[in-house]
Structure formats: C-alpha cells, structure tokens
Structure 1
Amino acid sequence: MKKRWRMKKLRLDKLGKNLMPVQKHFRKYAELYLIVLGLLVGFWISSSFIPQPIIALVHLETSMGENNVDEIVNTLRALKDNRTIQAVVLSINSPGGEASSVEEIYLTLVELREKKPVVVNIGNLAASGAYYISAGANYIFAKPSSNVGGIGVISVLPESGPT
C-alpha cells in the first residue's frame, strides 16, 4: 500500500502561526543577526587593510668572510632603511669568521640598533666573531646548551685624532 502525501495550502497571513519556535525567533531577530554578521565581515575584511608590524628574521648560519660579508651588510642596511619593518631578529648559529668581516657586520648592526630594536637568538653556536656580532644587539637570547663566547677577534681601529 502506497502512502499518499497530502499537501496543505497555507495562506500568507497564517504563515507565522505555522512556523516552528526557532524560526519565529530568527524571524523576530533577523535584523539584529544581519547587523552582527555585517560587523563581523567588516572587521574581517578591514583587518587585511590595517598595516601590521613586521619583524624581520635574518639567519646567520655560516662562517663570515670576504665572500659573504657584503650580502650580510647590505641586508642589514636594507632593513634599517625599510620603514615597514619594526624590529629585527638575528638568528645566529656560526663559528665566527674573519676579523675584518666581523667588524664591518658589527658596526652595521650597531647602526641598525640605533633605529630599530635588534634581538639576537643564538642557536647551538656563537663563537668568536659570531659572539662579537651578537654584542651589537639590544638583547641576546641563548639556550643553556648553546656554546657561546670566546671572542678571538682582535680588531684595531685607527685613532681619529691628529698624528
């Protein structure tokens, strides 16, 4: 035996009486829900247009010498001149490098520190010249197991006075 479905005609004026309680609730507060939904969508869209602070992360994971000093110095100078970058984090895991190269990187880092906060994060190793570079930052963070120290770089700076 087949079941027959009965369809009932509803008049528009009686439509509200046949709605379930949940539907009545949504019908009553529909304007409020639309306003809240509009605000949420507006906040979500506007958050992509509001500039967020940018923190640059620079990795130094090799010994520093004549072959890579220009790249490191140019990167630090570009970060100093970039107005969208608010701070710099330097991640160091290096045995050090040549004295002249390390000195140039250190002085560039000191210049950068005058304009923006510089934080050094030491991985497993920051020995010799790498630790010397770290001394140019505002803050230095290292794990208890990090091998840090041993500045073996001797640097002689010329005097600025008359000879």
Structure 2
Amino acid sequence: MSFALNQILNSQWAMTEEALRLMLSVVERHADIDALEKIRGDRLNNSEKAFIRGGVGVIPVRGPLFKRANLMTEHCGATSYETVLRDFHQMLASDQVRSIVLDIDSPGGEANGCSELADHIFGARGQKPIAAYVGGTGASAAYWIASACDRVYGSDSSIIGSIGVQSALQSEKNQNEIRFVSSQSPNKNRDPSTEDGAREVQAVIDGLAEVFISKVARNRGINRDMVLGKFGQGSVFIGSEAQKRGLIDEVSTLENVISNYGAQKMTTDNITAEFIAANHPAIAEHFIRIGAAGENDRFKAEKTRVERIRTLAEGQVSGEFLQSLVESEVSVQDAAIEILMESKKNPKAPWQAIRKDHDRSLSGLDVPPSQSTGLDVVASEQDAAIELARKLGLTGGTHK
C-alpha cells in the first residue's frame, strides 16, 4: 500500500462520500511515491493562493481539504488548512484589505485541523468583516469553515451541508503478518472488522462529529438541537433551501459579495484601541503621546488651582474648610467668594484682623489697602475677592 493511500485510509474525513471515493481513486492511480515527492518539492513555494480585489481579500478554498500541503494540494486541486490560515492572517494584517471573503467550492476534507482553522476565523470576528461564499459545494469540513465567518452566502445552485464525519478503513487481517500489542493497551489498533474494533472506531467518529455540531451551533449563534433538527443530520441542501434552514444568510453571487464588501467602510464600532494598535502602530503611538501631554497639562492646571486657593485662604479660614474647597474641585474664583463668606461667619476673628490679613494679601498684588472699618469691610469683601481673582488672571473683566 502506498504512503498516500495509507494516510487516507487511516484518517477521519468530514467530506462527502463521492469526493472521498474520487480522492481514493486518484491516489491509487499514482502509487510511485518517489516520483510524487519530487513533484511535490518543486511546487511547494507556490502554496499561497489569496488575492486582493478592491480592498477585499479573497481566499480560495477549493477541492478536498487537508491539514497540511501535500501531493493533493499541489497537483489535484486540493487546499490545505495551513495555507488558508496563513493567507487569512496576512489579510488581517494588511492595510490594503478592508474585508475578507472565503471563496468556497469544496466537498470537505480532513477533520484534523479543520476545527483549529475555524476557531481562528471565528476569533477574528470584529477585526474586519469576514464572509464566506459557496459557489459550488460547501459540504462537511468546508461548511464548518464557512460557518465561522460573520456571514455565509451561497449561489442559487450551491450544495451546502453534510454536517458529519466518516472514515474509510480496511480490515487488518493478514495471514502472513504476526502483530504484538502491549498487554496494557488491549484497545490499541483493534481490527475494525470485529465488533470491538468497530465500536472503538465508531466512538472516535461520534466524538469528532459532536465537536463539529457544537462548533457550527456556536458559529451560527444557535443551539445544538437546532443544528440537529434543521441542518439535515448529514444531508445537503440547494441554495434557497439552505437559506430557509439557516445554513446560509443570503443567496447571491461572488461578484456581488466582493462588490458589497469592497464598498464597506470601516465604522467607528470597528475602530477600537486594539485595532489601531495592531494595524496602525504609528497612529497609536501618536495618540499615546497626546494622551500623556494632556494628562500632564491637567496635572499642572490642578496644581495651580490648589496653590491659588491656598494663597487666598491663608489666615482666613480653617484648614478643614480649605481642604473641603480643594477636594470639591471648585474654581479659584468661586473659592475666593466661599473663603470670604466663611471668614465673616467666624465670630472669633475681629474685623480689624480680617481687614489686615486681607489687605496684606492684596498689597502684594498692587491693590490699595482698605481704609474702611467694621461693617464696611464686610460690604467690600466680595468685590475685593473678585479683584484678587482678576489679578491672579482668573477672569477677564471686573465685578459689577
């Protein structure tokens, strides 16, 4: 048995029966692995297939799907998950790409690696609009991938669904082979043609299918029972029927999808700090500098406010009252009025002392000392406070 055929027969596949049989027939016709490996090496550097149209990154997902690039992906029209993933992240990082469309025409493929790719796509939602378009077949693993996108489109003749997993195995009975299995591992490599062996294989297949179903439910925003009840339990549906059942969002054409997604502009909801930091680091650094400068200006302004209030309050009010003014974040002009009003409520302070303290603070600002006594001081204190605030540069005019 060739290496390629052995790999197919010992893997689990999320793909249609017809496609699996076709893939088997192709490999059986090419059993010369040495020649195939040489061809594979020559074409390895041409694995990336994505392209950009009008700001839309288009990633082809065609033919049988494999976890890694191999003979089938190089020469038989197949696609590898690693190639799609690499192209997908390049599109996410590119400033030329506003949105991403997966152009799907695939019967499905290897279960191994499909879930990881779909999770990467699902996790990138919100960074850029992501859509899947099924132009021919979007079955099994191909639909698994499509469901991870924000929206799924299909042509009116597209074939969509086939949610499930299968495996093609051969009996290991060989009269010329003697095989020993460790006593601690009686379930290792059971013959699938036996009842116990079939039970082991079925458990693996069912487990993978359960992952498939739960991920499709998450991706489409529905519950598991709805997937089982409406998505066909392995059946496929044509475009409009697939839309009615909720497998796709809209029947359209690839050109319309590319045109619509190319016309989309980035909305403010998409422009988050994380998006700017990841896609426009220079702009992010600029915003950081502006923010730091603004924070420094606010600190300086607050320091000046507190210093001026302390100057006005010196010898006029208690320390507790001063602290309450500072913490209340009132302006210096309002604080001056509050300080004067509080000082006249203090019966222990004689009017002469109030006048002297206030005149002393005003004399440093070239304000003529008050010549009044007694109640005249109280009558003029508010005007003096406003004048003091003006001298401190807190107001542009005089108090009327």
Match of 2:229 in 1: none
CA RMSD, 1 decimal: 2.1
Q: For residues 29-78 of structure 1, what are the alpha-carbon distances to aligned partners after superposition, in whole Å with 9 as ceiling and x for unaligned?
A: xxxxxxxxxxxxxxxxxxxxxxxx61111111121112222111111111
Pairs within 5 Å for 1:56-71: 56-67=57-68, 68-71=80-83
Normalising by structure 2, what TM-score? 0.25
**What secondary structure, in the 3-state scheme, does the structure 1 residue paired with 2:109 have?**
coil
Aligned equivalents of 2:93, 2:154: Cα separation in 1: 28
1:150 maps to 2:162: yes
Say which of 111, 114, 117 aligns to 2:126.
Answer: 114
CA drift at 1:80: 1.5
Structure 2: distance between partners of 1:136 and 1:101:
14
Between the aligned partners of 1:89 and 1:147, the Cα distance in structure 2 is: 18
The 8 Å contact of residues 117 and 145 in structure 2, kept in 1 or not, is answered as: yes
- For residue 100 of structure 1, report the CA deviation from its aligned partner: 2.2
Q: SS of 2:112's equivalent?
A: helix
Count of aligned pairs: 106
C-alpha distance in 1 between matches for 2:113 and 2:66:
6
Provide the residue aligned with 1:44 in structure 2.
Answer: none
Residues 8-27 of structure 1 correspond to what in structure 2 (within 5 A)?
none
SS of residue matched to 1:58: strand
Q: For residue 143 of structure 2, what is the aligned residue in structure 1?
A: 131
Partner residue of 1:32? none
% identical equivalent positions: 24
Secondary structure of 2:125's match?
Answer: helix
Q: Which amino acid counterpart does residue 88 of structure 2 have in structure 1? A: L
How far residue 111 of structure 1 moved from its aligned partner, in angstroms, is 2.5
Among residues 74, 94, 102, which one is paired with 1:90 in the alignment? Answer: 102
Match of 1:73 in 2: 85
The answer to whether residue 117 in structure 2 is matched with residue 102 in structure 1 is no
CA gap of 1:140–1:128, structure 2 versus 1, over 3 A, is same
CA positional deviation for 1:83: 2.5
Deviations 1:95-121 (A, max 9, x none): 111122211220121133231101111
Higher helix share: 2
Normalized against structure 1, the TM-score is what?
0.59
Question: Hey, what's the Cα distance between the residues in 1 that align with 2:98 and 2:56?
Answer: 6
Of structures 1 and 2, the larger Rg is shown by 2
Give 4+ residue runs of structure 1 displaced > 3 Å after superposition.
Answer: none
Unaligned segments of structure 1, at least 5 residues:
1-52, 158-163
- Contact 1:57–1:88 at 8 Å: present in 2 too? yes
Q: Match of 2:153?
A: 141
Provide the C-alpha distance between the structure 2 equivalents of 1:79 and 1:123, rounded to a whole number of angstroms. Answer: 21
Query: Could you tell me whether the CA contact under 8 Å between 1:76 and 1:112 is conserved in 2?
Result: no
SS in 1 for 2:83: helix
Letter in 2 for 1:108: H
Q: Where does the alignment leave 5 or more consecutive residues of structure 2 unmatched?
A: 1-53, 69-79, 166-208, 215-400
Query: Residues 125 and 147 of structure 1 are in contact (CA less than 8 Å); yes or no, is this contact kept in structure 2?
Result: yes
Task: Write the distance in 2 (CA, Å) between the matches of 1:137 and 1:74.
Answer: 16
Would you tell me which structure has more strand in proportion to its own residues? 1
| Equivalent position SS for 2:153 | strand
Aligned equivalents of 1:142, 1:57: Cα separation in 2: 15
CA distance in 2, matches of 1:63, 1:105: 15
Is 1:76–1:108's contact at 8 Å kept on the other side of the alignment?
Answer: no
